[in-house]
Structure 1
Amino acid sequence: MSNSTSTNSRAVNYTVSLIWGFVLVPPLLLILGWITKGVMSNDFHRVDTAVTDFLRQGSSPLLTKVVVFFTHFASSHIIIPLAILLALWFAFSKKLYMHAITLLIALTGSYLLNEGMKAWLQRARPEWEHWVAATGYSFPSGHAMVSTAFYGMLTYIIVRICRAAGKPSAYIGVAGALLIVAIGLSRVYLGVHYITDVSAGFVAGGIWLIACMYALGWMTREK
């Protein structure tokens, strides 16, 4: 394939991706607004209670240990050092400087946006028993939002690297999605979030993830 053909192909892929971004973000914003409105008016109370009861009905000490293991993947003492190490690896081993910067932006931005939303909406934590320590407000779930943005961005970067090397990458996307879902549901099981907190975290994190993905696409596209 000639350099001209390769450049044109990348330009087309970038344009298509940009269109998908414009298609996906408005519905996600509407969904986030709908969830927020329902939470503030307490319309989802029955749903929140039913989902928590369902997830906890099969609880056991062993299952709780497994769930706590997954929830720690989005805890600050794990995810921040991991982000720094991965960013250094992308920058100095792979020479992917923009990828490293964007990964850190995805994490930092999601933290700041989450704290801002929590301070604005001020939803209290669930009243049922907490099986792990949790402080601060409940909506949206920080673990769900941060893991969506960070692990989603990490998955996207790895998929790009694999595709550039001609290697299969579908399983990476599936693994990344499953990890994010597991982290989110772990917060409900452990009693520190409602399912609506987690759902809003997924959506808000997804919006920020899309913004970071297209920022990386713009910074790395060939002129």
Structure 2
Amino acid sequence: MTLKDNKVKIVVYIAVFIMFFFLFSVLYKQSSVRQIDVWVMKNIVSWHKTGLNSVFITLTNFASRPYQYAVYIFFAVIWLIGEKKWREPLVLGICIMGIRYGNHWLKNFYDRDRPVFHPVIDISGYSFPSGHAMISIAFFSMLAFLLVQNYSFMKPRKKIVYGLTGLFVFLIGFSRVYLGVHYPTDVLGGFFAGATWLFICILLYKMLQKIRIG
């Protein structure tokens, strides 16, 4: 596949994910979908156990702002200082900052109230789309993509890298439902919005690869 074909494929992905995000932004307001959301939340309450609560609290914390910034700074230092690379820290920085501000804007736009079915943790703010789901799929998937692109020993194992990243992101999204702070449609909407930004950042990275400095 040529570079041009690859970019066209990425643009198609972006269009598809945007479409699905807007679909969920409409569907969650429908009474039938609301009933499913509520049914899931009420049933998950019965799963709550002290040990399991601790597992999902720990997991959801890995997707919090301090952890993500720490991960970003770690790799930015390696790329900038250790390997003299600028594209990777630039694009990953744009990825994390853009997705955080984007999520804040979307939540204020849709202003959906959070569920009230015995939440395990206290949290404020609006519900749609889930910030943890949206930010995690964009940031951690972009990081996985950059690692595979930059290190030859990872390329033969890229299916494993992407598979483990996908599982991690899925569990983070599920943790938000389990902890009672998001409806399932919040998480799904967050995944589609985050995937949109992910592929925009991948497209940006491929465009920057044409630029040579020094």
**Which sections of structure 1, spanning at least 5 residues, go unmatched?**
1-11
Structure 2 equivalent of residue 32 of structure 1? 21
Report the Cα offset of residue 29 of structure 1.
Answer: 1.5
Tell me the CA shift for residue 45 of structure 1: 1.1
User: Which residue of the partner structure matches residue 88 of structure 2?
Assistant: 99
Letter of the 1:96 counterpart: K
Checking the alignment, whether the CA contact within 8 Å between 2:148 and 2:154 is kept in structure 1 is no
Q: CA deviation at 1:43?
A: 4.0
The aligned residue for residue 185 of structure 1 is 174
Within the alignment, does 1:59 sit opposite 2:48 as a pair? yes
Q: Distance in 1 between matches of 2:91 and 2:124?
A: 28
**2:209 aligned with 1:215, yes or no?**
no
Maintained 8 Å contact 1:103/1:153? yes
CA distance in 1: counterparts of 2:106 and 2:93, whole angstroms: 20
- State which drifts further: 48-57 or 22-31: 48-57
After superposition, the Cα gap between the structure-2 partners of 1:13 and 1:118, relative to the gap in structure 1 and judged at 3 Å, is same
Q: Aligned letter for 2:203?
A: Y
C-alpha separation in 1, matches of 2:32 and 2:107: 19
Aligned to 1:206: 195
Aligned-pair Cα RMSD in Å: 1.9
Paired residue total = 212
Q: Which amino acid aligns with 1:91?
A: L
CA deviations over 1:12-56 (Å, ceiling 9, x no partner)? 543232121122122211211111112234442122123334444
Counterparts in 2 of 1:171-182, with a 5 A limit?
A: 171-182=160-171
Deviation per CA, 1:93-143: give whole Å up to 9, x if none. Answer: 222211111111111000011111111110011011211121110100000
- In the other structure, the counterpart of 2:129 is 140
Amino acid at match of 2:77: L
For structure 2, which runs of at least 5 residues remain unmatched after alignment? none
1:151-200 Cα distance to aligned partner (Å, 9 max, x none): 01001011112347765322111111111101100000000000000000
Does the 8 A contact of 2:99 with 2:194 survive in 1?
yes
Match of 2:148 among 159, 171, 179: 159
Specify the SS of the correspondent of 1:168.
helix
Identity of aligned residues (%): 27
